Structure 1
């Protein structure tokens, strides 16, 4: 079977090789593709085709994807967490050093000099850019996921005292965080204690305006805020007041809006934190691997709207079901299989919110019987999407 994949934006072609020969890849494909692979394309105004089964975002953020609409339609949305983590980590570390020494302003000033006595002008004016060292300074990391954990570890290696806050840190990530990183249970400890603060959390109703007036009121003087996560995590009006009063020494962000541009003590980059050749390749590889695994086996890994579900396929056929998370659904599925005279080799069901995902492996070699069963599932009000996968 050949699956069709429509790509948006420039997806690294080497990474797309991970899909293999069983996939037709076409950026111009318009006829009901099986999957999308995207980067920054905004899909909120796009009608998702009826045949669409998966969307893979070659990156971590999924704000450009209508998650609720995709879920209701039975479309599994994937991202590639960690694929660009090293790139963002390096951008944040570089921003920390740039802030401490104010290299960007120093460069701009130097480039204004003219005349044969430029060396003398440099010597006379360089004191204004003396800066400070980061050794011994306190660094706060909000969000200890793939990116935040790397930043925390490297900041410690650079001689900083590191505080980390993340109430949802995974066990796997926790094992990779240095024991020298001080984990705090209250984000206020970050605001109160840190000279540098970086944030790496998704944008939600809960995290929007994490840096608000109340947060800035807890800080001391000359704090550097680094935001390579999402612009809306910072209340800009409150930020401007904090800069005016000397609470914030510098704000560095990868998310530009008009009100942030051309302002003293604010450095805006054009959303390039994760834009390295290596990161783009890593994201494309992970996106390709994820789509291939899902389409060929039905297994889900790194989905943002459905649970991870893995089960080795040993039976002749597998039916995958995206179903509403209603009582006794697994029992109803099992009864329907039994009524069709088919044995279940293996079954796994995992739920997330209002929906669930089921892998149903059938000890049945008759393709017609399996198709008839799938047709019955299709007719059920509680089943959103059905697929048949042959071993």
Structure 2
């Protein structure tokens, strides 16, 4: 019987996810040494000495900023995440944020907290103070959504059901996302168009070089006076200093976000929440289950789904003998792989190869056992990053 896979867990991960890794073939825990894989949520791996035997990393969430993805790519290690698994949780928090801003709930709550419960004129004080917190209704307002992936689509659908008009923009929208988008969503020409037209603007984009400070002083000047900006995406997609200046000028009405950075804390028109986007039991379970299943399929069969640095590659087993190869996306790799196997007298039963940017990945099923000398020969090919032999009993 082969040795069990060893999975190091860096955070408290939902038991529902851990149960997807059978105890007879996996050793899972926070004290695991020489791990084959690492499972985590928010732990920062950048300063971590990641063991050389690690073959995969699974992030129980969408963002992977806490993982050295480039370094893992150089080692041929896929980094899995769970896109969409926490989408409903984030959607509900966006709706809550819109309602908090529209109805001035944060200052209204602060006002109530300061009331004297023993005062004889308490009811009179409440009635006198409530006029300062009159708000607006969401129905009939325009919501601008920047980023129309799973979360953006769910937010759009919910907003339409609340009677809002929805304007959306996403230059990288996928076919699947486009199909799931409600037909009532109007297409914006760009970020500036959204900011000029919307009463509420919500961001749902990853943090990349192209999206850093996506909302900034220049385009905030285009926003409708009193507009509400919501950021449940990533802290860096918004220029905090520009937002504060817009709030002070009363160009923006509210900034609602999930990132309580030091610059924005305690501003009267900022509602900052403590990273609550995916903090529901349901979302944590969904993320853990999704990533555990992806991790298991990779470790046992070499299949890849939802890795942020690898192409999606899946192939049904047509032989007991499988080789998985991660390599640089350069010419003649398949030829060299096939040649190495042919020289060893191996007949390729079926093969699939896909690429994503600089990374390529190949699964090969052969008709007979693969010896260690063949694996060594494959590893010697220039540009090959990792080779795994995955025989079935």
TM beyond 0.5: yes
Q: Give 1:338 deviation, angstroms.
A: 1.0
Which residue of the partner structure matches residue 61 of structure 1? 63
Gaps of 5+ in 2: none
Q: Give 1:117 deviation, angstroms.
A: 1.8
Q: Give 1:76 deviation, angstroms.
A: 0.5
Q: Give 1:353 deviation, angstroms.
A: 2.1
Please, which of 161, 164, 170 is the counterpart of residue 166 of structure 1? 170
Which residue of the partner structure matches residue 138 of structure 1? 142
Q: How do 1:1-391 and structure 2 match up within 5 A?
A: 1=2, 2-21=4-23, 22-29=25-32, 31-114=33-116, 115-364=119-368, 367=369, 369-391=370-392
Q: Give 1:82 deviation, angstroms.
A: 0.8
Structure 2 CA distance, aligned partners of 1:370 and 1:267? 61
Q: Give 1:167 deviation, angstroms.
A: 1.2
Structure 1 CA distance, aligned partners of 2:353 and 2:203? 35
Deviates further, 190-199 or 180-189: 180-189
Could you list the per-position Cα deviations for residues 276-325 of structure 1 after superposition, in whole angstroms to 9, with x for gaps in the alignment?
Answer: 01111111111111111111110000000000001101112000001122
Moved over 3 A (4+): none
Structure 1 CA distance, aligned partners of 2:145 and 2:109? 28
Please give the secondary structure, in 1, of the residue aligned with 2:35: coil
CA RMSD of aligned residues (A): 1.1
Please give the secondary structure, in 1, of the residue aligned with 2:20: helix
CA contact (8 A) 1:167 1:185 kept: no
Could you list the per-position Cα deviations for residues 134-179 of structure 1 after superposition, in whole angstroms to 9, with x for gaps in the alignment?
Answer: 1100001110111111001111110000011111111112111100
Q: Give 1:19 deviation, angstroms.
A: 1.5
Please give the secondary structure, in 1, of the residue aligned with 2:34: coil
Please give the secondary structure, in 2, of the residue aligned with 1:20: coil
Q: Give 1:340 deviation, angstroms.
A: 0.9
CA contact (8 A) 2:318 2:350 kept: no
What TM-score results when the alignment is normalised by the length of structure 1? Answer: 0.97
Please give the secondary structure, in 1, of the residue aligned with 2:351: strand
Could you list the per-position Cα deviations for residues 39-68 of structure 1 after superposition, in whole angstroms to 9, with x for gaps in the alignment?
Answer: 001111112211111001000000001111
Deviates further, 84-93 or 168-177: 168-177
Gaps of 5+ in 1: none
Structure 1 CA distance, aligned partners of 2:157 and 2:213? 26
CA contact (8 A) 2:336 2:381 kept: no
Structure 2 CA distance, aligned partners of 1:313 and 1:64? 34
CA contact (8 A) 2:244 2:264 kept: no
CA contact (8 A) 1:55 1:75 kept: yes
Structure 1 CA distance, aligned partners of 2:30 and 2:259? 27
Q: Give 1:380 deviation, angstroms.
A: 2.5
Could you list the per-position Cα deviations for residues 192-245 of structure 1 after superposition, in whole angstroms to 9, with x for gaps in the alignment?
Answer: 100000001110111000110111111120010000111111111111111121
Q: Give 1:69 deviation, angstroms.
A: 0.3
CA contact (8 A) 1:32 1:51 kept: yes
Deviates further, 349-358 or 86-95: 349-358
Corresponding pairs, count: 387
What TM-score results when the alignment is normalised by the length of structure 2? Answer: 0.96
Q: Give 1:382 deviation, angstroms.
A: 2.1
